[in-house]
Amino acid sequence: MNNPEILNSIRSLISTAPDATSLLTEVVGLLRRERPHYHWVGVYLLQGEELVLGPYVGKPTVHTRIPLHQGICGAAASSGQTLIVDDVNADPRYLACSLETRSEIVVPIRHQNRVLGEIDIDSDHPAAFTPLDRDLLEAVAGLIASELL
Ligand code: SME
């Protein structure tokens, strides 16, 4: 599917999913299936000063709770801006999840400038994320934000 087709599928999921957890489970599964370079796809939800792991696909991670001042995840949530890291091993903020991971994108989920959580994606390929991925994931975050209130 191209980006607009994925976004349309997510609109349908929003209209049918019984609750936010089911919706996020469907969304991370769809992204994983449709974009083979997305090897780990998860959503973290902001609870107080911590990011708490919600639905994900990929290997289990030890980072199920990330304080806002830690990791690439914390940096993206604190700044409210998308972060793309082409080489995770060269970024001192990086919290390793899998040894195979080479690059990462983190996209905040915001509602009226308040960060509710973020979409976190790891790839086993270096510099895997392009502006097309960023556009897609920022649009996905925009669609699902109001479902998380
Ligand atoms: N790499 C992230 C931690 C989450 S795991 O990738 C699933 C980070 O540096 O914040």
Atom of ligand 1 nearest to the CA of 74: 10
DSSP state of 82: -
Q: What pLDDT digit, counting tens, does each position of 95-130 carry?
A: 998 999 999 999 999 999 999 999 999 999 999 999
**How many angstroms separate the alpha carbon of residue 120 from the centre of ligand 1?**
7
Q: Name the burial class of residue 83, with classes exposed (0-12), middle (13-18) and buried (19+) by CB atoms within 10 angstroms of its CB.
A: buried
Distances in whole angstroms, Cα of residue 91 to Cα of each of 84, 87, 95, 122, 124: 11, 7, 9, 14, 16
Atom of ligand 1 nearest to the CA of 53: 7
pLDDT, residue 73, reads: 98
* Residue to mutate, 59, 91, 95, 102, ligand 1, most ligand atoms under 8 Å from C-beta: 95
User: Predicted confidence band at 58 (pLDDT cuts at 50, 70, 90)?
Assistant: very high
Single pTM value for the model: 0.98
pLDDT, residue 43, reads: 98
Residues whose beta carbon lies within 6 Å of some atom of ligand 1: 40, 42, 61, 63, 66, 71-73, 94-95, 97, 104, 120, 122
pLDDT, mean of residues 89-97: 96
pLDDT, mean of residues 55-79: 97
